[in-house]
Amino acid sequence: MRFFLFLPFLLLRAQTSLAIVPFYPWLSSLWHYEDLLYLSPYFNTAKTNRTVNGSVIAAEWVRVAYHDMANANVGAGTGGIDMSIAFELDRPENPGQGLKDALNDFRTIYSPNVNMADSIAMGVVFALASSGGPLIPFRGGRIQVNSAGPLGVPQPQESLESHIEAFRRQGFSTTEMIQLVACGHSLGGVRNPDFVNMVPEDGVHKFFDSSQATFDNNVITEYLDSTTQNPLAVTQNATFRSDLRIFNSDGNKTMQAYVLPLFLYLRSDFSSLANPDAFASTCATVMEKMINTVPSGVKLTEPVEPAQFTVARMFLTAQAANQTQISVTTRWLNPSSNNKVTIFWSDKLHPSNCSREICSATAKTMSDQPVEPVSFAPSMLAIINPHRFHKFVFSISSTVVPDKFWFEVEDSAVKSGLFIGDNGGQGFTRADNLDVFLDTVRTTEATTDSSLKFVVAVRKSNRPSKISIEYVDISADAAPDFNPNIGTKDFSLDSSIAPTFEYEFWTAPVPVLFSTYTLSVVRDGKSIILDENQILADRVNIL
Binding site for ligand NAG (CB under 6 A): 47-49, 52-54, 56, 97, 157, 193, 197, 202-203, 212-213, 223-224, 226, 237, 239, 248, 251-252, 320-322, 350, 353, 501
Instruction: Tell the smallest beta-carbon distance from residue 476 to ligand HEM (Å).
Output: 21
Instruction: Tell the smallest beta-carbon distance from residue 220 to ligand HEM (Å).
Output: 14
The interface mask with ligand HEM, positions 217-256, x = CB under 6 A, is ---------------x---------x--------------
- Among ligand NAG, ligand HEM, none, the one that 335 touches (CB under a kind-dependent 5 to 8 A) is none
- Among ligand NAG, ligand HEM, none, the one that 60 touches (CB under a kind-dependent 5 to 8 A) is ligand HEM
279 interacts with ligand HEM by CB under 6 A:
no
- Among ligand NAG, ligand HEM, none, the one that 321 touches (CB under a kind-dependent 5 to 8 A) is ligand NAG
- Among ligand HEM, ligand NAG, none, the one that 195 touches (CB under a kind-dependent 5 to 8 A) is ligand HEM
- Among ligand HEM, ligand NAG, none, the one that 187 touches (CB under a kind-dependent 5 to 8 A) is ligand HEM
What's phi and psi for 131, nearest 5 deg? Answer: -110, 25
How big is the chain by its Cα radius of gyration, in Å?
26
Of 62-70, 310-318, 350-358, 379-387, which segment contacts ligand HEM by CB under 6 A? 62-70
DSSP at 208: S
Nearer Cβ to ligand HEM, position 139 or 163? 163
The interface mask with ligand HEM, positions 69-98, x = CB under 6 A, is ---------------------------x-x
* Helix 116-130, helix 276-291: angle, nearest 10: 170
Nearer Cβ to ligand NAG, position 18 or 321? 321
The long-range contacts involving 237-245, CB below 8 angstroms and separated by at least 24 positions, are 237/197, 237/198, 239/156, 239/157, 240/156, 240/157, 240/195, 240/197, 240/198, 241/156, 242/154, 242/155, 242/156, 242/157, 242/158, 242/160, 242/163, 243/181, 243/182, 243/185, 243/208, 245/159, 245/160, 245/163
Residues 11-50 that bind ligand HEM (CB under 6 A): none
66 interacts with ligand HEM by CB under 6 A:
yes
Contact 64, 100 (CB under 8 A): no
The span from the CA of 440 to the CA of 455, in Å, is 8
123 interacts with ligand HEM by CB under 6 A:
no
Q: How many other CB atoms sit within 10 Å of the CB of residue 417?
A: 8
Instruction: Tell the smallest beta-carbon distance from residue 319 to ligand NAG (Å).
Output: 9
Contact 294, 139 (CB under 8 A): no
Residues 178-197 that bind ligand HEM (CB under 6 A): 180-181, 183-185, 187-191, 194-195
Q: How many other CB atoms sit within 10 Å of the CB of residue 389?
A: 24
Instruction: Tell the smallest beta-carbon distance from residue 516 to ligand HEM (Å).
Output: 28
Nearer Cβ to ligand NAG, position 193 or 378? 193
Number of residues that bind ligand HEM (CB under 6 A): 28
Residue nearest to ligand NAG (CB): 203
Return the half-sphere exposure (C-beta side, CA atoms, 13 A cut-off) of residue 536. Answer: 22
Nearest CA to 328 among 309, 306, 347, 304? 309
Of 152-160, 298-306, 460-468, 490-498, which segment contacts ligand HEM by CB under 6 A? 152-160
Please report the DSSP string for 376-438 in residue order.
SS--HHHHH--EEEEEEEEEEETT--EEEEEEEEE-TTSTTSEEEESTTTT-B--GGGGSEEE
Start-to-end CA distance of the chain, whole Å, equals: 34
- Among ligand NAG, ligand HEM, none, the one that 49 touches (CB under a kind-dependent 5 to 8 A) is ligand NAG
372 in the Ramachandran plot: left (φ > 0), alpha (ψ -120 to 50) or beta?
beta
* Helix 174-184, helix 160-170: angle, nearest 10: 90
Residues that bind ligand HEM (CB under 6 A): 55-56, 59-60, 62-63, 66, 96, 98, 154-156, 163, 180-181, 183-185, 187-191, 194-195, 232, 242, 290
